[in-house]
Structure 1
Amino acid sequence: MADIHGSYDDLFSAVPGALAALLDGGDVGGSVAVFVDGEAVVDVWGGFADAERTVPWQRDTIVNVYSVTKTMTALCALVLADRGELDLDAPVARYWPEFAAAGKEGVLVRHLLAHTAGLPEWDGPVAEIYDWPAATARLAARAPDWEPGSAAGYHSLTQGFLVGEVVRRISGRSPGAFFADEIAGPLGADFHLGLGAEHDGRVALTVPPPSQDEEYAASAPDAPAGTGGTPLRVRDGNSVAWRRAQIPAASGFGNARSVALVQSVMACGGTVGGVRLLSSAGCARAGEEQFDGEDRVLGRPMRWGLGYGLFGSTFGWGGWGGSLVMIEPESRMTVAYVTNQMREPAQDTRGLEVVMSVYDGLKGLRA
């Protein structure tokens, strides 16, 4: 059985067992954290940080969580809304005047968060996603693919630039800087949007699925979108340019502990560890249903809230490669799983397996 490191409440012993089973099944490395009432009841890790399995996964190992990053960017917008600096019902052009081009005058801020803005596909070159002014200018000039608000289609790569530019226009700071100053810093969370070189040695690079190499393309619905007919590949996500860039839909780096800590704010009415980031009403906004129906990009029924997917009484999101965060306000619980090991999306149930391993412990804790 794989060695699992860290700590956990005995009630939650099934969780490290689930992680060990994934590692025994061939995964390279990963970490799992469960927070209840803003406190860690599980914080475990295991395996290796490199494909060659020579560097053990450490307590401070971080990994690209891909689209789990969207939950962090959404939180930035919700914080601004809670402060009264951002009106979710305002046209995006109120904050970003250039965005009104090509028939987008009626796109509201809430449409950006709910994947209903009609701008789901990235149609620029890969190199342009590392250039914030160029990326946002391209999206500002685009015409929507449908009447904004009338349909949903997962904005895989574009949502981060759209929401992030609104955050930047209001705050005067890049999304990464705003997140660091207003969220990660106060909470003491080791999560980064735009990774400095000093952290490179802690990064567990993404390992493609078995039998694949770094040319493996982002073909999954929850993966970064294709670019000009050439999809993003694992080698793009593993590049220095990707780590340094602000790609707020897909280039966040952290571990399970930091993901769960940040998103515990949403599970605990806006306050964690004595740090208040949101009011209870501000947290509740995330779960306000914006769309319920067939998502045009994902090709399946989806319920979208404001920046999060809605799943019964829980909400959250996952990322290309398998990382996931799930928030359950009724139990004041957050579960995060991150990994450097990709699997083919159609066969990847790891996040669900980890989440299900939590519930017996939760019942015992509440007994």
Structure 2
Amino acid sequence: MIASVSTTLLAAGCAQLPGAAGPQLDHARFAEIDRAIETVISDKRMPGAVFHLERNGESYEKAYGSVSYDSNAPKVRPDTIYDAASLSKIVATAPSILLLAEQGKIDLEAPLIRYFPECGGKGKDGMTIRHLLTHSSGLPAGIPALPAWEGQAAAHALACAREITDAPGTAFRYSDINFILLGQLVQKVSGMPLDEFAQRNIFTPLKMTDTGYLPLARFPASRIAPTHVSPLKVEDKALHPELEHGEVLQGVVHDPTSRRMGGVAGSAGVFTTAHDLARYARMLLAGGELEGVRVLSRESVRLLTTVQSPPGIAQLRGMGMDIDSPFARPRGALFPIGSYGHTGFTGCILWVDPTSRTFYVFLSNRVYPDDKANILPLYGQLGTLAAQAGMGR
């Protein structure tokens, strides 16, 4: 079932993170991590996965299982590319917004209507960029699928037309609409689509060579773990006749809203590898730079990764990262509040603890073949085991 494993002291190939010192990973925990993941694969709740754990320059990385349940399916490799789903929010959209704020092109406290006047009215005029980034806008969770629609313009019109259920800044609700609008804001103020902006300003400087939107333009489908659309939804039949029989999606974004938007959305659409997400995490722990290349300012990293939710909201979010909300299962039982990260619907995690300088990445395609598998208990297990390995508890 195991495809590949490596335990590496990264200092042999690159400098340790600034300030890194003290004990490194507890190797005794690795077998427990393996068992937790292999049990879920054996139960057919996901066909395969990649796990990466790192602290103070030492890493443990392993690939498990196969990319699908087909008898001749390729084994997962450490460089298998996965649909990262909502990790797109924290590796592409939020850092792009913060970078544009650094450049003076976006005011994070400004109302959205300064940039999109058409999104105002019905109590939304006070909705700020901060509210969108911290999921405190009051907007509902998503854009309706019916009647059938397609394209960026249609998505924008539908997002702007949605009515709030809470006054901006008064309640937490995780909403894809927030990040759909933020992704479109990147294009509005930068003059380039979100995928191009993120590639040019985040992924390329960080040498995240296997990360980006629309992966089939750069990589063969064989490198990408498949997802699936089954049973086929009515709205997908109307807009995507090529999926008439519920064919496997391989290199095409799983999220249906992003798919209707052409595969590029602020909420979903990024494909990536564990190796690349590890580089992103190292950049955050180093205060916004990696290997001498600065990607974000220290202030942007602070805004992204520390509590920025409006006062009075119990669910704690950074301007992108989850810190303490019902979605923070990957924190497990031991990482402290103050650690941060995010999940993706397809079965993906990035979680970082700046106190112990430990982070872990988990990529899977648990949505294969029918979206029905539930691996949420594994999220908590991995968080606890990663903390035990990285914090010596």
- How does the TM-score come out when normalised to structure 2? 0.75
- Displacement of 1:184: 0.6
Match of 1:309 in 2: 322
SS in 1 for 2:63: strand
Q: Contact 1:63–1:206 (CA<8 Å) still a contact in 2?
A: no
Q: Which residue of 2 aligns with 1:325?
A: 350
Q: Determine the structure 2 residue equivalent to 1:352.
A: 380
1:236 Cα deviation from its structure 2 partner: 9.5
Contact 1:18 1:357 in 2 (8 A): yes
Query: Which residue, out of 268, 289, 307, partners 2:286?
Result: 268
Structure 1 residue 24 displacement after superposition: 4.1
> Which of 262, 265, 279 in structure 1 is aligned with 2:297?
279
1:46 equivalent to 2:61? Answer no
Question: Which residue does the alignment assign to 2:212?
Answer: 192
Match of 1:162 in 2: 181
CA distance in 2, matches of 1:86, 1:16: 47
The aligned runs of 1:234-249 (5 Å cut-off) are 238=249, 242=253, 245-249=263-267
Query: Partner of 1:85 in structure 2?
Result: 105
1:204 aligns with 2:225: yes
Q: Is the 8 A contact 1:130 1:246 kept in 2?
A: no
Q: 1:7 maps to what in 2?
A: 6
Is the 2:49–2:362 contact (alpha carbons within 8 Å) kept by the matching residues of 1? Answer: yes
Provide the alpha-carbon RMSD of the alignment.
3.0
Moved more, 307-316 or 50-59: 50-59
Q: Is the 8 A contact 1:65 1:319 kept in 2?
A: yes
Separation of aligned partners in 1, 2:147 and 2:247: 10
Which whole-Å deviations, capped at 9, do the CAs of 1:165-217 have from their partners, x for residues lacking one? 1111111111111111101111111222333344233211137xxxxx82399
Q: In the alignment, residue 4 of structure 2 is paired with which amino acid?
A: H
Aligned length: 334
2:168 is equivalent to residue 148 of structure 1: yes
Note closer, same or farther for the CA distance 1:93–1:196 as it changes in structure 2 (3 Å cut): farther
Report whether the alignment pairs 1:174 with 2:183: no
Query: In 1, Cα distance between the equivalents of 2:288 and 2:184?
Result: 24
Deviation at 1:90, TM superposition (A): 0.9
Q: Which residue of 2 aligns with 1:228?
A: none
- 2 CA distance for matches of 1:276 and 1:282? 12
Cα distance change on mapping 1:84 and 1:203 into 2, 3 Å: same
- Structure 1 residues 340, 19: closer, same or farther in 2, change over 3 A? farther
Runs (5+) with no aligned partner, structure 1: 208-212, 218-234, 295-300
The two structures have a TM-score, normalised by structure 1, of 0.80
Residues 152 and 138 of structure 1: is their aligned pair in 2 closer, same or farther, counting only changes over 3 Å?
Answer: same
CA distance in 2, matches of 1:126, 1:250: 19
Structure 2 vs 1, CA of residues 134 and 216 (structure 1 numbering), >3 Å: closer, same or farther?
closer
- The 5 A counterparts of 1:15-94 are 15=30, 17-25=32-40, 26=42, 27-36=46-55, 39=57, 41-53=59-71, 54-72=73-91, 73-94=93-114
AA at the equivalent of 2:365: N
Q: What is the rounded CA distance, in whole Å, between the counterparts of 2:31 and 2:187 in structure 1?
A: 39
Contact 2:348 2:362 in 1 (8 A): yes
* Fraction of identical pairs, as percent: 24
Amino acid across the alignment from 1:263: A
| CA offsets 1:122-161 (integer angstroms, 9 cap, x no match) | 3432796751121012212333222111212110x31321
Going from structure 1 to structure 2, the CA distance change for 1:236 and 1:316 (only over 3 Å counts) comes to farther
1:138 is matched with 158
Structure 1 position 318, deviation (Å): 1.1
1:336 matches 2:336: no
CA contact (8 A) 1:4 1:20 kept: no
Residue 122 (structure 1) aligned to one of 142, 150, 169: 142
Aligned 8 A contact 1:325 1:335 in 2: yes
Q: Residue 352 of structure 1: CA displacement?
A: 2.5
Secondary structure of the residue aligned to 2:205 is helix
- SS of 2:315's equivalent in the other structure is strand
Letter in 1 for 2:37: L
Flag structure 2 segments of 5+ consecutive residues without an equivalent: 10-24, 234-245, 254-258, 325-336
| Alpha-carbon distance change, 64 to 249 in structure 1, aligned in 2, over 3 angstroms | same
Aligned partners of 2:224 and 2:4: how far apart in 1?
A: 18
The Cα of 1:362 is off from its aligned counterpart by 2.5
SS at match of 1:106: coil
Separation of aligned partners in 2, 1:68 and 1:241: 16
